[in-house]
A and B are shown apart, each in its own frame.
Chain A
Amino acid sequence: MLTYLPLLIIVLFGVGAFYASRARIGAAPEQPLPGLPGHYGWYGTLWTVVPATLVYAAWAVIDGQIIRNIVLSDHPGLSGAEATLLFVSIENAAAGVMTEDVPMASVELLLKLENLSTTARFAVVTAVSVLGFFWAWQRIRPELTARDRVETALLVALFIASIIAILTTVGIVLSLVVETFRFFQLVSPFEFFFGLEWSPQIALREDQVAASGAFGAVPVFAGTLLITVIAMLVAGPIGLMSAIYLAEYAHPRVRAVIKPLLEILAGIPTVVYGFFAALVLAPSMRNLGVDLGLTISSESALAAGLIMGIMIIPFVSSLSDDIMTSVPMSLREGSYGLGATASETIKRVVLPAATPGIVGGFMLAISRAIGETMIVVMAAGLAANLTANPFEAVTTVTVQIATLLVGDHEFDSEKTMAAFALGLTLFFVTLALNVVALRVVQKYSERYD
């Protein structure tokens, strides 16, 4: 309980500081203040809360490491892994899980240090909070430009919040790059990008002898490509023709009903599509295959690709629709005036004018299809077949990432690192598709004024 007590203290002190500081300025002689009384209240609260919270957070980050170093200093001459193992067993013993061969002196030392740390943290955080409050209290005078100061603090907070987007990207790139780098020290990048055999599970069992041969990701990339192509063969024509009909022919009332209906397709959770593909579509396709004399595997690229195609229809149709409706009427009227029919106008005037937007929409849809996970996990399978036959099972980048990392693993085997290497590839391919799509839309779009 003592762990969270400092936070409670900080909150209570903060509330108290607000009213105390506001009251202090309220007691000052009547004169125009450079801020409302509330600003002085907030000024007090900020000084009471912010430094103390920072100390609390910093303490939480470093105290474990310091305790560990002190405890392990009694056991010199251990390698990194041995030290970790020893410390974990000491921790377990301290938590009441009895393990053999644990030096009881270290366990007692650990418990003592942890108690000491918690108590000291409580004292220090409270002291910092009180000191902060008195610092603010002293400075609260009518001359203090409280509004400016509080607002500056607020702007800093806003800026920090918006930095989180950058931090997320940095976090993604760093975590992927670090693991990938470690992976490429064990398996050469050449093998990974051009090798034709993918069997990471076997490599683990054969104790890395076969590692160099088993991490060739070409079948994985090929499977992703095959499913994406099938998906685009579905979504491309259906999405584009739907967009054309909605933008050019449909009555506004029809459009108002159909457009949201199509967008529902993008809002259905992908696991639901996966269920449909794996448990409804795939069995009926297999039965159909038996009737037609074809062998359709129960986990086929076709089932996954078809369903994924349905899912990305709205990504194609929405953007194409928007772009086509933004083509000005005067272009169409000019074409009608020369005697063209509606479909001729669409094919020769509207579509060429809308091409950048349509291309952009297709690229976004492809990027979505490549990154989609649940449908392929449930319907496409795990076997890394290098095949162009849509009736066979193939695997994709996302399926491999998911299967390599699900479950309890040591997170330093080649298997898990390979998943991060696949993740990095996926990240860059989708990023490139999105950046290029955006550029195409922005750069080549016609400007109508």
Chain B
Amino acid sequence: MTSTGLSAISSQAAANRLLLRRKRAERRFQLYGILAISAAVGFLIVFLASIVSRGYMGFVQTEVQLTVNFDAELIEAGSYRKILRTSLVELFPEAGSSRAERRALAGMVSAGTVFVLRETVEADPAIVGTVQDVWVLASDPVDQFYKGRIDAALPEGERPISDASLARIAGLEEAGRIALRFNRNFFSRGDSRNPEEAGILGAIVGSALALVVTLVVSFPIGVMTAVYLEAFAPRNRITRLIEININNLAAVPSIVFGLLGLAVFLNLFGLPRSAPVSGGLVLSLMTLPTIIISSRAAIRAVPPSFAEAAMGLGASRVQAIFHHVLPAAAPGTLTGAIIGMAQALGETAPLLMMGMVAFVVEVPGGFTDPSTVLPAQVYLWADSPERGFAEKTAAAIIVLLGFLLVMNGLAVYLRRKFEKQW
């Protein structure tokens, strides 16, 4: 009697303990799930925050106001270097006239300032013989110091800027002759060896040209393939082979497409290296599976009654598909094309093989001009040792992510707007 009572009590207690343990296991398991998601989302936030915090300064640039005497004689002689030197000496009268001092002065402003002065004169010859206040780009160390990226507390030997330069910057600040201004060059120039002058326009234009080639090649071919496979292909071995091929191509590593492009487009067909036309062709082979797969899904989603009604009224199968089914599937195919283009825009590895990762100063003007693309520009700048390029890299990434956001947003919008339940 007592023993059964005791065992009942103890088994009751054991069951309670077991239940408690199981409930704890349950909570633990849920916690793991939350932790996993927080890790992934947390990384995304840290990642974006670190890029934005590194990159936003790339959109502004330190500029210095010089008082330039556009001396007619010197301009006639073409010695803009002398004009610049005169105005620098005027700005920092305390500097000596030794070679080293002069070089230090010239090091305050960008190495391209001489050319900027010449361009200013060429753009407006009326200023010859006058004295003008001109804002010019500061050199990279000055720029980085002014943006607070260089610690002035470090000993002089360990930072890329001298004590004398720091004193000069302080002087400029007092006179209001140094300021952060919007970095127009970033959006209006090609690459440069000087970080303060480097821009991404060349890369953006290169990307745009390559994407035009990609779209023109892969969109028609992709949609045609999708139409064929969904509407006309007989169920036979060749059709199955095509389908398997498309699925496998979607999973081939992108660098292998680069090898194909190198061997076939460049070496066999002799297309130009580093040109948007060759890069775009490789990208179109890569985006083809994406476009085909999404177009097929879009065509499949159109109810068969569309084609049947058309055929019942005497249309041929071709007419039924091209006049009725394909227009109904257009938003889906378009969405697929945009997503494919977004993928192509972010792709770097195959273009590495096609020579599109290159130092290109000129903004490309055509499909066969040497050019680089936006992600390749990111890669190039990330490898550059100058401090200024770190923020330029992050700024270029922000621009790249911005483009991707717009394209994917457009795809989502199209899908929402035209998504129909038939």
State whether A426 and B382 are in contact (beta carbons under 8 Å apart), knowing that A245-B30, A270-B349 are contacts in the complex.
Answer: no
For residue A238, which residues in chain B have a CB less than 8 angstroms away from its CB?
A: 36, 39-40
> Is A265's CB under 8 angstroms from B224's CB?
no
| Chain A min CB distance to B103 (Å) | 31
> Is A419's CB under 8 angstroms from B51's CB?
no
| Chain B min CB distance to A168 (Å) | 5
State whether A276 and B33 are in contact (beta carbons under 8 Å apart), knowing that A172-B252, A341-B25, A402-B352 are contacts in the complex.
Answer: no
State whether A155 and B318 are in contact (beta carbons under 8 Å apart), knowing that A269-B346, A269-B348 are contacts in the complex.
Answer: yes
A176 to B347, CA, bound (A): 21
- Interface membership of A322, Cβ < 8 A: no
Q: Mark A389-402, 1 if CB is under 8 A from B, else 0.
A: 00000000010011
A321 to B30, CA, bound (A): 16
Q: Could you tell me which residues of chain B, from 281 to 305, have a CB within 8 Å of some CB in chain A? A: 285, 288-289, 292
- Interface membership of A330, Cβ < 8 A: no
A238 to B32, CA, bound (A): 9
Contact of B228 among A162, A249, A419, A438 (CB under 8 A): A162
> Is A175's CB under 8 angstroms from B259's CB?
yes
For residue A275, which residues in chain B have a CB less than 8 angstroms away from its CB?
A: 51, 378, 382, 393-394, 397
| Chain A min CB distance to B92 (Å) | 35
- Interface membership of A120, Cβ < 8 A: no
**Size category of the binding interface on chain A:** 35 or more
A270 to B54, CA, bound (A): 18
For residue A370, which residues in chain B have a CB less than 8 angstroms away from its CB?
A: 253
Q: Mark A344-380, 1 if CB is under 8 A from B, else 0.
A: 1011000000000000000010010011111001100
- Interface membership of B12, Cβ < 8 A: no
The secondary-structure label for the interface of chain B is helix
> Is B379's CB under 8 angstroms from A245's CB?
no
- Interface membership of A427, Cβ < 8 A: yes
Contact of A398 among B227, B233, B349 (CB under 8 A): B349
> Is B33's CB under 8 angstroms from A161's CB?
no
- Interface membership of B245, Cβ < 8 A: yes
Q: Could you tell me which residues of chain B, from 234 to 251, have a CB within 8 Å of some CB in chain A? A: 241-242, 245-249, 251
For residue A11, which residues in chain B have a CB less than 8 angstroms away from its CB?
A: none
> Is B228's CB under 8 angstroms from A431's CB?
no
- Interface membership of B333, Cβ < 8 A: no
Q: Mark B92-132, 1 if CB is under 8 A from A, else 0.
A: 00000000000000000000000000000000000000000
> Is A158's CB under 8 angstroms from B35's CB?
no
> Is A280's CB under 8 angstroms from B50's CB?
yes
- Interface membership of B44, Cβ < 8 A: yes
Q: Which of A154, A158, A258, A280 has the most C-beta atoms of chain B within 10 angstroms of its own C-beta?
A: A158
| Chain B min CB distance to A264 (Å) | 6
- Interface membership of B263, Cβ < 8 A: yes
- Interface membership of A163, Cβ < 8 A: yes
A165 to B249, CA, bound (A): 8
| Chain A min CB distance to B348 (Å) | 5
For residue A271, which residues in chain B have a CB less than 8 angstroms away from its CB?
A: 346, 348, 375-376, 378-379, 382
Q: Could you tell me which residues of chain B, from 402 to 422, have a CB within 8 Å of some CB in chain A? A: 404, 408
- Interface membership of B22, Cβ < 8 A: yes
Residue in A closest to B30 when the chains form the complex, CB atoms: A249
> Is B44's CB under 8 angstroms from A261's CB?
yes
> Is B259's CB under 8 angstroms from A176's CB?
yes
A398 to B408, CA, bound (A): 28
> Is A268's CB under 8 angstroms from B401's CB?
yes
Contact of B353 among A344, A402, A430 (CB under 8 A): A402
> Is B23's CB under 8 angstroms from A341's CB?
yes
For residue A237, which residues in chain B have a CB less than 8 angstroms away from its CB?
A: 36
| Chain A min CB distance to B221 (Å) | 5
> Is B30's CB under 8 angstroms from A258's CB?
no
Q: Mark B323-358, 1 if CB is under 8 A from A, else 0.
A: 000000000000000000010011111001101010
> Is A411's CB under 8 angstroms from B251's CB?
no
For residue B260, which residues in chain A have a CB less than 8 angstroms away from its CB?
A: 168, 171-172, 175
A271 to B264, CA, bound (A): 25
State whether A343 and B255 are in contact (beta carbons under 8 Å apart), knowing that A267-B408, A275-B397 are contacts in the complex.
Answer: no
A279 to B285, CA, bound (A): 32
Contact of A406 among B41, B256, B357, B390 (CB under 8 A): B357
- Interface membership of B313, Cβ < 8 A: no
Residue in B closest to A244 when the chains form the complex, CB atoms: B33
- Interface membership of B229, Cβ < 8 A: yes
Residue in A closest to B382 when the chains form the complex, CB atoms: A275
Residue in B closest to A342 when the chains form the complex, CB atoms: B26
> Is B401's CB under 8 angstroms from A431's CB?
no
- Interface membership of B316, Cβ < 8 A: yes
Q: Which of A264, A411, A435 has the most C-beta atoms of chain B within 10 angstroms of its own C-beta?
A: A264
Residue in A closest to B253 when the chains form the complex, CB atoms: A371
For residue A347, which residues in chain B have a CB less than 8 angstroms away from its CB?
A: 29
Q: Mark A231-266, 1 if CB is under 8 A from B, else 0.
A: 000000111111011100100000000100110110
| Chain A min CB distance to B383 (Å) | 8
Contact of B249 among A168, A240, A267, A419 (CB under 8 A): A168
State whether A175 and B263 are in contact (beta carbons under 8 Å apart), knowing that A165-B289, A242-B36, A274-B379 are contacts in the complex.
Answer: yes
A99 to B299, CA, bound (A): 59
A239 to B408, CA, bound (A): 23
> Is A371's CB under 8 angstroms from B229's CB?
no
- Interface membership of B6, Cβ < 8 A: no
- Interface membership of A434, Cβ < 8 A: yes
Contact of B251 among A164, A179, A344, A367 (CB under 8 A): A367
> Is A164's CB under 8 angstroms from B232's CB?
no
- Show the binding face of A for B, using Cβ within 8 Å: 147, 151, 154-155, 157-159, 161-166, 168-169, 171-172, 175-176, 178-179, 237-242, 244-246, 249, 258, 261-262, 264-265, 267-272, 274-276, 278-280, 310, 313, 341-344, 346-347, 364, 367, 370-374, 377-378, 398, 401-402, 405-406, 411, 419-420, 423, 426-427, 430-431, 434-435, 438
A-B contact pairs, 13 of them (CB 8 A): A155-B228, A168-B249, A175-B263, A268-B346, A269-B346, A269-B375, A280-B50, A341-B22, A343-B28, A344-B22, A377-B379, A406-B352, A435-B248
Q: Which 6 A-B pairs have the closest CB atoms?
A: A371-B253, A245-B33, A269-B346, A175-B263, A241-B36, A373-B349
